[in-house]
Structures are given as C-alpha cells and as structure tokens.
C-alpha cells in the first residue's frame, strides 16, 4: 500500500508534490544534495545552508584532529527509515549506517587527500572523491541534516490533504546555531502496518534522484579521460592512432585507462593538479540540470503509468464537478492536483489556506516559485516579486466580479508576492474581468491572471501532448494581455 492510498488522497504521483512511498518497503530513490543546491526557492536555500554548515564543521574537526567530535557528528547520520527511500527494496529495516559504518566513513574522510588538501568543497563532492561514500550514505546523511525542513514540509502536505498527525519523537536534526544534533518532537502522520505504528516523513520529489547528479564514473569517463585524450594527442604519445590518410587520432579511452589507473584517488590527483576539470564538469551539470520526472519515480517504484489517462481523468472530473458552495472543497482539492500536474517542477510545495500579513489574511493555495525557465522565471526577470505564487479558487456559478478580484489583489504585496491566479468555472464577460485586473496592475504592479475551466482544460491538453513551450506561450499571452492599457 502507498501513502496516498492509506490516507485516501485520491491522487496519483503526478498530482502530488512528494514521493508517494510504499509503507512496507523502500523505493530505490535517494536525496541528492546537488539537486537541492541547483534548485531555487526558500526550501532549497534553507536546506543548503544547513548542509553546508554541517559539512564545513565536519571537515574542520577532521582537519584539526578532533576525531571524536567528527565521529559523533557522523554517528547521527543513520538511515531515516520513516522516509522509505534507499537501497532496501524488500525490507523495512534497510541497510542503514551503523556505528561501524560511521567510523569507516570518518576514516575514509580523514585519510583522503581531498580533505587534507582542501579541494573538497561540498558534501556532494564526496561521491566523486571519497571511497566508500556513495549515494545511499550521502542520502542518509542529508536526510538527517535537513530533517527539520522535511518535518515542516510533511506537516504542510498533511494540512493540504487533511491527513491526521500525532506528536511523536522525530529523532535528531542538525541545528546550525547550536552546531550540534538536537532532538525534536513533532506532529507527523502515523500508519499502522503489520501490527506496528510507523511515523512517516515525506520528501519533495524535486530533491530525489535514482542516482546522484555528481557521478564518479561519469566524471572519470567524460572529463578526465577526455582531458587525457587531448593531452596524449598533443604530445604525440605512442598510443596516438594514425589513420590511413595520415591523420592523427586520440587514443581510445580503454587504452588510456591502463595508463592513468582508476578509482577515486585518481580523481583526487587530477582535481588537485587541474581544478578547472571539476569546475567545467559542474558547469555542464548545471546547464543540463532538470528535476526528476514522474515517470522516473514510477519506474523506481516498478509501477506503470499512463499520464494521458491521468490527465483525461482530471479533465473529466472538472467537467462533471458542479459549481456552487456545496462542492467548493471538491473544486479546491481537484485544483491542487491539476496545478501539481501542470506546473511541476516550476512550482512546488503547495500549502492550503496559507496565512499571510501577520495572520490577518489567508490564501487558498500558495506555491514556492522554483522555476529555472519559462513563464514563472520570466515573471522574476521582469522584477515582479514572485518567490511565491498565489492561487484563489472560486467555484462560482456566476461570473467573478470586482470583490473577488479585489480580494486577491489585497493579498498581493511586495513582501508576499505580486503574482496571483484566480481560478473560476466560467467567464462570460472577459473584457470586463480583464479591465479590473489591468486596473490593479497599472495601479500597484499586482499581476492577476484569471483562468476558467476552458483555460485549465486547454493547458491540460497541452500538457498531455508534452507541449511545455505552448503552455508557457499561453501564460505569457495572458500576462501580455494584462499589461496593456485599456482603450
């Protein structure tokens, strides 16, 4: 059974912001610190701040010979079983990080030239340079370090779907002020599985990967060996190949491997002498960065997935849903699923009825703006305050009017967000509604975009065809309409 099924959320993986875990076994997915670092948004900023604080102190302790302090830090980096992620596919208990493993990792760090010379900068670099530290160990460490942000995220998602929580001992997290591990009790969802009560910690799907982004084999093959091919060719090395027409060709990588050797120690030697190699590698990874897809998550879960059928189901549900107060909650709930489908990975971590303005106002749905491209990035580039994006849902049978538009406009400020969407069932007089929105844009810079069922269905149809550029074009047209001056 999956988490979504246990709590009857009636949502598939594409309609959820988190990894929909199994309750009795782990999914072979791992928290990737590079994915966190390359993401935008407040959640990622907070997590990276904590991760860097931990890792820099750990390296400092090792460098200064504080072995006991370093081992103590690593001893709290055991497997976080309540996430149900990692290498143990058939067992709830997983592989974990025992005290012996913590000491082994400490030894690997202490003896590494990468640590001694200071070329290792970030925790994710361990996957490239430190023997014995791989994706499961890095994922475990990161999960513990950022446990407090993950707890808050879990609580937000539970509030979003009305999932009950219970106050339990939630373990330890890294406290940047105390510079130490601190125990915490927190409200978390509890599931009953095979006669035991298990707490659950949800993880945003945007920060997980099937493999870490920074990969030793990839760096070795694509960067170091390519570097040596060029060097061998320029030096007219004996391994250089000569074609029949007399042209020189670089040696085969398989032949160079025999010369340069293999292993993470080789990586360290090259990065020490040629630090530009790792900089170029990270630059390339940065340009190629993209969040995990729903399909990749489902493959890891060994589940089949028909995205077209899922989208058609949402379109059908929207068409059948009656307007009016009676089904207002259903409309709100359906809207969250649709927005998750449409705007992942650009918008993330939805919160329902988020409180703003010192508790005086609430917004139906608030998303973090994590966009690295497209419409939501364009909004930021136009100097629109849009770290968050607001959505108000009106399940009205009649046209929305100035009071509803004014209500959303009143929630948009420089300190909260200037970008808001008002979702409604139908618009008869679009020009009248657009004029009201233009009044607020030209008056105070608030960007209000109105989408009715026809707009939402059009966007879903484009999503079904994987026409991301046309989705952006559609939203850009709405924005451009807004910024015009009424005749």
**Confidence (pLDDT) at 354:** 63
- Shared-domain flag, residues 201 and 225: no
Instruction: Please check whether residues 189 and 245 belong to one and the same domain.
Output: no
pLDDT digits (tens, 9 = 90+) for 307-342: 888 899 999 999 999 999 999 999 999 999 999 999
Residue that terminates a domain, selected from 257, 287, 317? 287
Same domain, 179 and 256: no
> How confident is the model over 15-25, as pLDDT tens digits?
999 999 999 99
In a domain, 464, yes or no: yes
Q: What is the pLDDT, as a whole number, of residue 454?
A: 96
Of 162, 183, 209, the residue at which a domain comes to its end is: 209
% of the chain with per-residue pLDDT over 70: 95
DSSP-H helix ranges across 293-429: 294-300, 307-320, 328-343, 374-381, 402-409
Contact 17, 205 (CB under 8 A): yes
Alpha-carbon span 379 to 410, nearest angstrom: 19
Q: CA–CA separation, 313 vs 309, rounded Å?
A: 6
Q: Are residues 192 and 224 in the same domain?
A: no
Percent of the chain with pLDDT over 90: 66
- State whether 224 and 173 are in the same domain: no
Pair (275, 317) in one structural domain: no
Per-residue pLDDT tens for 421-474?
A: 999 999 989 899 999 999 988 888 889 999 999 999 999 999 999 999 999 999
- Is the pLDDT at 305 greater than 80? The verdict is no
What does the alpha-carbon distance between residue 211 and residue 34 come to, in Å, rounded to a whole number? 11
The answer to whether residue 141 sits within a structural domain is yes
In a domain, 294, yes or no: no
Whether 180 and 155 map to the same domain: the answer is yes
pLDDT given at position 383: 65
- Separation CA 157–CA 352 (nearest Å): 9
- Reported as a single tens digit per residue, the pLDDT across 54-108 is 999 999 999 999 999 999 999 888 889 999 999 764 444 444 445 777 888 899 9
- pLDDT exceeds cutoff 90 at 242: no
- pLDDT value at residue 360: 54
> Model pTM?
0.90
Identify the pLDDT of residue 98.
56
Q: Do 420 and 389 reside in the same domain of the chain?
A: yes
First to last CA, the chain: 58
Give pLDDT, residue 92: 43
Same domain, 280 and 193: no
Please indicate, yes or no, if residue 33 is contained in any of the structural domains.
yes
Last residue of a domain, one of 287, 317, 341: 287
The angle that helices 67-75 and 99-111 make with each other, rounded to 10 degrees, is 130
Return mean pLDDT, the chain. Answer: 90
Q: Stretch 257-277: mean pLDDT, rounded?
A: 91
- Long-range contacts at 104-107 (CB < 8 A, ≥ 24 apart): 104/132, 105/74, 105/77, 105/130, 105/132, 105/133, 105/137, 106/62, 106/67, 106/70, 106/71, 106/74
Using 50, 70 and 90 to split pLDDT, how confident is the model at 259?
A: confident
* pLDDT value at residue 95: 42
Q: What's the number of domains the chain is made of? A: 3
Q: Which residues are CB-neighbours of 321 under 8 A, at least 6 positions away? A: 327, 330, 331, 334, 395
Identify the domain containing residue 282 by its residue range: 216-287
Q: What is the mean pLDDT of residues 250-259?
A: 88
d(CA 43, CA 29): 20
pLDDT score recorded for residue 88: 63
Domain of 476: which CATH number? 3.40.91
Across residues 357-376, what is the average pLDDT?
81
Quick one: pLDDT at residue 63?
94
Q: Residues 469, 362: one domain? A: yes
Structural element, H or E, at residue 259: helix 253-260
- The answer as to whether 81 is a domain residue is yes
Q: Is the pLDDT assigned to residue 398 strictly greater than 90? A: no
272 & 331 share domain: no
The mean pLDDT of 154-172, rounded to a whole number, is 95
10 lies in the same domain as 155: yes
């Amino acid at each position: 059974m999956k988490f979504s099924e246990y709590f009857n959320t009636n949502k598939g993986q594409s309609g959820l912001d988190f990894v929909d875990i199994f309750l009795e076994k782990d999914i072979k997915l791992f928290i990737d610190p590079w994915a966190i670092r390359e993401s935008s948004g407040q959640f990622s900023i907070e997590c990276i701040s904590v991760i860097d604080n931990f890792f820099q102190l750990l390296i400092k302790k090792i460098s200064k010979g504080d072995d006991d302090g370093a081992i103590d830090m690593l001893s709290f980096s055991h497997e976080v079983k309540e996430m149900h992620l990692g290498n143990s596919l058939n067992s709830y208990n997983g592989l974990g990080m025992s005290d012996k493993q913590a000491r082994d990792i400490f030894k690997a760090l202490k003896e590494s030239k990468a640590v001694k010379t200071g070329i290792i900068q970030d925790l994710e670099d361990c996957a490239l340079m430190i023997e014995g530290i791989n994706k499961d160990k890095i994922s475990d460490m990161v999960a513990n370090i950022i446990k407090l942000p993950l707890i808050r995220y879990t609580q937000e998602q539970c509030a979003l779907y009305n999932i009950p929580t219970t106050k339990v001992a939630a373990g330890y997290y890294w406290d940047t002020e105390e510079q130490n591990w601190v125990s915490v009790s927190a409200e978390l969802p509890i599931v009953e599985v095979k006669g035991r009560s298990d707490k659950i910690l949800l993880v945003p799907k945007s920060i997980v990967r099937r493999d870490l982004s920074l990969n030793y084999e990839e760096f070795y093959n694509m960067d170091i060996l390519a570097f040596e091919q060029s060097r061998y060719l320029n030096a007219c090395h004996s391994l250089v190949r000569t074609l029949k027409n007399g042209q020189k060709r670089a040696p085969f990588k398989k032949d160079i491997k025999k010369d340069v050797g293999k292993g993470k120690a080789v990586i360290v030697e090259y990065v020490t002498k040629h630090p530009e190699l790792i900089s170029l590698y990270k630059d390339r990874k940065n340009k190629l960065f993209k969040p995990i897809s729903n399909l990749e998550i489902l493959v890891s879960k060994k589940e089949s997935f028909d995205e077209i059928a899922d989208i058609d189901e949402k379109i059908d549900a929207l068409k059948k849903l009656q307007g009016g107060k009676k089904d207002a909650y259903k409309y709100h709930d359906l809207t969250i699923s649709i927005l998750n489908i449409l705007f992942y990975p650009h918008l993330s971590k939805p919160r329902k009825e988020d409180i703003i303005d010192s508790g005086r106002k609430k917004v139906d749905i608030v998303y973090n703006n994590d966009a690295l491209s497209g419409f939501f990035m364009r909004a930021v580039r136009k100097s629109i305050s849009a770290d968050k994006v607001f959505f108000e849902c009106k399940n009205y049978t009649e046209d929305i009017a100035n009071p509803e538009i004014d209500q959303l406009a009143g929630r948009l400020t420089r300190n909260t967000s200037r970008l808001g969407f008002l979702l409604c069932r139908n618009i008869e007089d679009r020009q009248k509604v657009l004029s009201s929105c233009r009044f607020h844009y030209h008056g105070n810079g608030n960007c209000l975009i109105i989408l009715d069922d026809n707009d939402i269905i059009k966007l879903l149809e484009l999503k079904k065809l994987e026409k991301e550029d046309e989705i952006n074009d559609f939203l850009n047209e709405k924005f451009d309409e807004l910024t015009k001056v009424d005749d």
